[in-house]
Structure 1
Amino acid sequence: MLFSEIDTTYLANTIKGLQGKKLILWGAGRRLKGFVEQYCGDGKLLPTPYGVCDSTREIAEKTLWGIPVLPFKDVQAMLPKDTVIIITAGLLELQARVVASELYYFPLFHCRTFEVYDYLQKNLDQCDRAIGLLADPVSKKTYRGCIENILCGRLWDQSLFSASPYFGNDINERLDASGQLVFAGAFNGKHLDRALENNPAIRIAAFEPSKTWSAYLREKFKAAPQVTIHNKILWSENTLLSFDDDMSNSGLDAHVTTDAANSTYQHEGVAIDDYIEGKVSMIALDVEGSEQRVVQGAHRTIERDRPKLCLCLYHNLDDYFRIPVIISERYGYRLHVKHHSTISAIETVLYAV
């Protein structure tokens, strides 16, 4: 069960067929620039787009990243046989508008489909190597199924769903109170509540870099002395980082950014090896694409304590395939994958036990 066995003929033919079509990018948020720069134009996977539009706001500029801005009504008036639309927004931001906007007759793709296709074409051996490291056939089926769903545009798939992320499942049934749980990406505390319910004796070092959410968590768990809230970014080293708290979206996409000018604030990053004292029995990371960095900063802790690891894979394409290799080769863990959402492209977790 390998990634090289996935039939990508349909997408290959779609890409070839884009020549002579009007390629429209729908969504002018922060995804647009990176997608255009990496995938669109001469010598790249996709041709230069005909235009960009956005149905959620008026765009004042006449062009964005060299692409003409079109009124959304002009896109709606185009002929589906001559047009291909790629959504360059979050996975769920515009899909609900397809019916209301009467775009269901158009060939419509999400940008993630082309990102995955391009990554597989360039890194197929590495991807096959990663799936070969998984310890059981269900993990392999789940892992490949998530990627295949994105390639095929299958947003929902109930068949891959598994309840109870990180603990309380058949891989990690009960939290080990002989050490502490390091949980990064604590957000609104729902998984901290679950941890205390799973084992009231567990000590939790919870990391939440958002100032708003960390203040909320300190108030929420003020009567739980076994829970410590750290308003810091877990990272590979102790350093100052630019952070976008994404509070306009309730912090759902808060992340470290290299774009300091457009970040919310500068924030302290710390490494587990330098910051956490005492034995660690589990590390669970949902840190919006910083998982590889955090693992680097926990090297000594992992070697010393052999904590169970629960690492989100879905934020960056490279994480899907690099993290299993890193964890297997450096530390020799047994690897499993579970998918904790009916949405194909989120909540895929690597378990190392």
Structure 2
Amino acid sequence: MSLLHFVKNDEDAVDQVALGFCSEFIHNTDRQKFILGRNIYADCVEKHVKVDGFIDDYTSDIKYHNLPVMRLAAISKNSLVLNVAGGRPLSAKKRLDEFGVKNLDYFAFYKYSKLPLIPIRFSEGFEDEFKSNMKKYEWIYSLLLDDASRRIFEKTVRFRLSYDITHLNGFTSKEDVQYFENFLNLRESGEVFIDVGGYDGFTSLEFMKRCPGYKSIHLFEPEKGNYQSCLERLREFKNVHCFPIGLSNSKKKLKFSIQGSASRVSDTGSVTINLDRLDDLLHCPCTFIKMDIEGEEFAAIDGARNTILTHHPRLAISIYHKIGDFWRIPKLVLSIRSDYEVFLRHYTESIYETVMFFMPKY
């Protein structure tokens, strides 16, 4: 399949409604203007556009950037609302539409406003990367095993190219089932799970529900606070081993930025974490490896070459953090072992939580 039409269609399409909203939101002084949500996108917009306040139905705060924080029901329906909900833009738009207020999402605002705004996180430079490597994207698309994987690929790529949230229609937030698809055929007993990026232990607990007779769990979490949470949540379970280490392709120390579930390696990070190769840390057989480590997945796979080659485990790898991971990660995995089937699944309404699965061919 040629993906050239993805680029052409998105280059030709111009959303006149979005253009009109942007002009009115930036220049109109007759209507009140609000930002729904409070995050890095909201902070950036507030620096460039004079707004009357923020909408947040889930807080007791009354001020933000010295502006009022209001419930949606309290604003005038003649207002203009910019929806900056990064994780649940479809749900937020539905609420705004039902309320009857004119609104636009941040993705379209970023594209059409011409303001120097923060790029969409995890999608910076995607269009140029896609055009430069289109054959590689076509290659991985051709390898995807089922229709669901191909639909998800098309929708996520088209959204990253166009910033049109209509391409996200049909996606829902279902992070509670993330990583545990039926096609993995996990057994109730005997599984050995490697949880790379354990965060607070949630994924390991979900694994236990599905595989109560597991043989062992090995969890890697380098951030001290998260590691302590894992110890506390998992201490009562047998054969669970928690490591205060991150995985990479060499033994080293790196700066780390603490941002909850979005914590990541960063040159400006406030803490130092230890990293090492999985191949040097574990030598036991494993049956399932999950990786969600904020963009370090490629290096961690590289450091797990012998483990993958020797034990042929199922793999669930996050591919949304860095542009190019859509094809670079499968290329690396399949260079280690070519006998994998490839699936793709997505677990939020937005750009986050796209996971590629590698299922051993038996």
What is the aligned counterpart of 2:257 among 244, 254, 257? Answer: 244
Structure 1 equivalent of residue 298 of structure 2 = 292
Shift of 1:299: 0.5
Instruction: Kindly indicate whether the alpha-carbon contact (under 8 Å) linking 1:206 and 1:228 is maintained by their aligned counterparts in 2.
Output: yes
Change in 2 beyond 3 A, CA 1:11/1:245: same
**Structure 2 CA distance, aligned partners of 1:205 and 1:336?**
24
- SS of the equivalent of 2:212 reads coil
Structure 2 equivalent of residue 170 of structure 1 = 182
Counterpart amino acid of residue 54 in structure 1: V
Instruction: Kindly indicate whether the alpha-carbon contact (under 8 Å) linking 2:247 and 2:278 is maintained by their aligned counterparts in 1.
Output: yes
Structure 2 equivalent of residue 278 of structure 1 = 284
Q: TM-score, normalised by structure 1?
A: 0.71
Change in 2 beyond 3 A, CA 1:166/1:290: same
Instruction: Kindly indicate whether the alpha-carbon contact (under 8 Å) linking 1:183 and 1:284 is maintained by their aligned counterparts in 2.
Output: yes
**Structure 1 CA distance, aligned partners of 2:248 and 2:317?**
14
Counterpart amino acid of residue 224 in structure 1: F
Structure 1 equivalent of residue 140 of structure 2 = 130
**Structure 1 CA distance, aligned partners of 2:334 and 2:200?**
31
Instruction: Kindly indicate whether the alpha-carbon contact (under 8 Å) linking 1:243 and 1:265 is maintained by their aligned counterparts in 2.
Output: yes
Change in 2 beyond 3 A, CA 1:8/1:132: same
Shift of 1:310: 0.9
Shift of 1:317: 1.6
Change in 2 beyond 3 A, CA 1:263/1:183: same
**Structure 1 CA distance, aligned partners of 2:184 and 2:213?**
16
What is the aligned counterpart of 1:332 among 291, 315, 338? Answer: 338
Instruction: Kindly indicate whether the alpha-carbon contact (under 8 Å) linking 1:243 and 1:264 is maintained by their aligned counterparts in 2.
Output: yes
Structure 1 equivalent of residue 116 of structure 2 = none
Listed as ranges, the matches of 1:15-30 within 5 Å are none
Structure 1 equivalent of residue 170 of structure 2 = 158
- SS of the equivalent of 1:314 reads coil
Counterpart amino acid of residue 186 in structure 2: R
Counterpart amino acid of residue 4 in structure 2: S
**Structure 2 CA distance, aligned partners of 1:191 and 1:233?**
16
What is the aligned counterpart of 1:182 among 194, 201, 219? Answer: 194
Q: Provide structure 1 residue ranges, at least 5 long, that are not aligned to the other structure.
A: 33-51, 56-68, 75-85
Instruction: Kindly indicate whether the alpha-carbon contact (under 8 Å) linking 2:171 and 2:349 is maintained by their aligned counterparts in 1.
Output: no
1:62-101 Cα distance to aligned partner (Å, 9 max, x none): xxxxxxx535349xxxxxxxxxxx99995569x959969x
What is the aligned counterpart of 1:221 among 221, 227, 234? Answer: 234
Shift of 1:352: 0.9
**Structure 1 CA distance, aligned partners of 2:2 and 2:13?**
22
Counterpart amino acid of residue 119 in structure 1: E
Query: Is residue 2:198 matched to residue 1:199?
Result: no
**Structure 1 CA distance, aligned partners of 2:40 and 2:296?**
18
1:241-288 Cα distance to aligned partner (Å, 9 max, x none): 111121xxxx1210112x1xx212111101100011311111110111
**Structure 1 CA distance, aligned partners of 2:314 and 2:251?**
23
- SS of the equivalent of 1:54 reads helix
Structure 2 equivalent of residue 350 of structure 1 = 356
**Structure 2 CA distance, aligned partners of 1:351 and 1:146?**
16
Change in 2 beyond 3 A, CA 1:13/1:306: same
Structure 1 equivalent of residue 150 of structure 2 = 140
1:85-136 Cα distance to aligned partner (Å, 9 max, x none): x99995569x959969x87379624644774323222221121112122233
Change in 2 beyond 3 A, CA 1:53/1:267: closer
Counterpart amino acid of residue 213 in structure 2: A
Structure 2 equivalent of residue 323 of structure 1 = 329
Shift of 1:336: 2.7
Shift of 1:349: 1.2
Instruction: Kindly indicate whether the alpha-carbon contact (under 8 Å) linking 2:149 and 2:345 is maintained by their aligned counterparts in 1.
Output: no
Shift of 1:179: 5.5
Instruction: Kindly indicate whether the alpha-carbon contact (under 8 Å) linking 1:116 and 1:147 is maintained by their aligned counterparts in 2.
Output: no
**Structure 1 CA distance, aligned partners of 2:298 and 2:226?**
23
**Structure 2 CA distance, aligned partners of 1:216 and 1:343?**
27
The number of residues matched between the two structures is 300
**Structure 2 CA distance, aligned partners of 1:193 and 1:105?**
38
Counterpart amino acid of residue 346 in structure 1: Y
Q: TM-score, normalised by structure 2?
A: 0.69
Shift of 1:178: 4.4
What is the aligned counterpart of 1:256 among 232, 256, 265? Answer: 265
Shift of 1:342: 4.1
Listed as ranges, the matches of 1:20-99 within 5 Å are 53-55=44-46, 70-73=48-51, 90=86
Change in 2 beyond 3 A, CA 1:320/1:343: same
Shift of 1:141: 2.2
